[in-house]
Amino acid sequence: MPSSTAPQAQTPLSAQDSLVAAGGWPFLITAFIGRLPAATLQLGLLLYVSGAGLSLGLAGITVAAVGLGSAVGAPLVGRLVDHFGPLPVVVSATLIQLLSLTALLLTVVNDGPTPLILVCAALVGSANPQVGAIARAHWSGLARRRRQPRLITRALGYETACDETSFILGPVIAGLLVGLLGPNPALLTIMAWVIVGQGAFIMYLARHRTEHGAATVEDAAAGGIGKISIAKALPPMLVCLCVGTVFGSTQTALTAVNVLRGTEAYTGVIYGFMGAGSAVASILVSRLPERFPLSLRVAIGASFIAVACVGLFSLPSAPVMAGLFVIVGVGVGAMLVSSFGRGERIAPSHRIASVMTMLTTCLVLGVSLGAALGGVLSVQPERGFMLTMAAAVVGMFASVTLHLTKPGRPATHQE
């Protein structure tokens, strides 16, 4: 029997101001600033530990501990956000990070035991407040309430572009702080940066509690009472794992190339071209019409990466390599936006943050896997890019699994 309540009409979006109109400038600005500290911490701790007179090997293990802690803590953070809302979780995570950074600083200054340094680093990673995942969950809620399917696709493209921009700016900030101030003052400044960046997002959440509260019973009913479908979640998780592997393998292979050539200063610049390509692609892919399904977008993105790898195998000159990294970035952007888009579509409304952090965890694990295996293969630099090619091939397989596992829900979206 038809419902007595007429379905809510879809609200058209303006191509220029849809995200601003829906989210508002305070959310857009604070959500971007709030993710910058996390992007600064990894390289910042690497430079801090090595600059404090400890070995480069220990510095690398410290960064690995941060990544491992983030991979373990992210799903828990997502579940807590879904249950309690983002405000108390972000506040608690920020306090844990600050306490852990303080303990790490004191341990290094007082020549404390190495295991304690690693424990502090792991705690810093596990307490990552996952601002990006919270922002994506908020966009999803807005799109579902407003019945605007185009809003979430544009928002996810924007969020991926923000992530890529933060990944470019974060290391630059960390390098400048350590280079200009020295290790200990730099770490104290990074701690202040955590307070300012994540604190700005906390202030926004505090002023908009009703918009960013815990999931209600009505939300759960609208999104389905059932659990997250693992069968439907695995394909986008695999895509994120592939993208992370591309990040990790290209980092190590590019570093090996420039060490071999004595052009280490070019590493960050060339790698930044991939981030720029990814940021631009993220915005453009999100504007593609619905007749281009997510699975096709992933396949095309993986193909871009594979084509670029063919050129990278020959270890071309720095300008050519920078151009090829732009192509890799375009592929990465297309894959990331599509994987988060599918994750949003399969998530019950009361578990969106959980699904987003699951995908983020796969991304982090992929970076660790790519860096570890890439470091072994990059004894001969061109072999490091073989791992990147392998990730692209697996990404093509993942696009097939995306096509075979349709989301099968909700009414505000189209595949």
d(CA 247, CA 257): 16
The CATH code of the domain that includes 295 is 1.20.1250.20
Boundary residue ending a domain (158, 190, 214): 214
Do 296 and 367 belong together in one domain? Answer: yes
The answer to whether position 350 is within a domain reads yes
* One domain, residues 92 and 204: yes
Which residues 6+ apart lie within 8 Å of 166 measured at CB? 32, 35, 36, 38, 39
CA proximity to 257, closest of 322, 190, 342, 191: 322
Task: Evaluate whether residue 5 is within a structural domain.
Answer: no
- Residue 2 inside a domain? The answer is no
Map residue 262 onto helix, strand or coil.
Answer: coil
Which pLDDT belongs to residue 310? 94
- Same-domain pairing of 360 and 278: yes
Q: What is the pLDDT of residue 289?
A: 75
Q: How far is CA 365 from CA 206, 236, 264, 266, 370, in A?
A: 32, 14, 26, 26, 8
Tokens of 181: 């101030």
pLDDT value at residue 291: 75
Q: List, as one string, the DSSP characters of 332-375.
A: HHHHHHHHHHHHHHHS-GGGHHHHHHHHHHHHHHHHHHHHHHHH
Last residue of a domain, one of 155, 190, 214: 214
**How far is it, in rounded angstroms, from Cα 131 to Cα 356?**
11
Does residue 36 share a domain with residue 133?
yes
Q: Which amino acid is at 359?
A: L
Q: 80 to each of 127, 133, 144, 220, 224, how far by Cα in Å?
A: 12, 12, 21, 15, 19
Look at residue 155 and tell me if it is in a domain.
yes
Q: Do residues 74 and 130 make contact, with C-beta atoms less than 8 angstroms apart? A: yes
Do 376 and 235 share a structural domain?
yes
Number of domains the chain is built from: 2
Do 169 and 284 sit in the same domain of this protein?
Answer: no
Query: Does residue 10 fall inside a structural domain?
Result: no
Q: State the pLDDT at residue 211.
A: 63
| Domain co-membership, 241 together with 335 | yes
Q: Are residues 246 and 386 in the same domain?
A: yes
What does the pLDDT read at residue 217?
39
Domain of residue 255 covers 228-404
In a shared domain, residues 245 and 166? no
Quick one: pLDDT at residue 198? 93
In-domain check, residue 15: no
Is residue 248 included in any domain, yes or no? yes
Spatial CA neighbour of 175 closest among 57, 47, 63, 348: 47
Do 167 and 306 lie in one domain? The reply is: no
Residue 373 falls inside a structural domain:
yes
Residues 209, 234 share a domain: no
Q: How does 230-255 read in b/e, with b if 16+ C-beta sit within 10 Å?
A: eebbebbbbbbbbbbbbbbbbbbbbb
Confidence (pLDDT) at 18: 73
> How much is the pLDDT for 213?
54
For every one of its 415 residues, what pLDDT tens digit does the chain have, with 9 covering 90 and above?
Answer: 334 344 444 445 554 447 877 788 889 899 999 988 988 887 788 778 877 878 767 777 787 788 888 888 888 888 888 888 899 999 999 999 999 999 999 999 998 898 999 999 999 999 999 888 888 888 877 877 777 767 877 887 788 788 878 877 777 787 788 778 888 898 999 999 999 999 999 999 998 876 655 544 344 444 444 466 677 888 889 999 999 899 888 877 887 888 788 876 677 778 788 888 888 888 888 777 777 888 889 999 999 999 999 999 999 998 999 999 999 999 998 998 888 888 878 777 667 777 888 888 888 888 778 877 877 787 788 888 999 999 999 999 998 888 887 665 443 444 4
Coil, strand or helix at 413: coil
Distance between CA atoms of 168 and 32, rounded to whole angstroms? 13
Q: 181, 214, 247 — which closes off a domain?
A: 214
Say if residue 271 is in the same domain as residue 200: no
Q: What is the pLDDT of residue 194?
A: 93
201-215 burial: b if 16+ Cβ within 10 Å, else e: bbebbeeeeeebebb
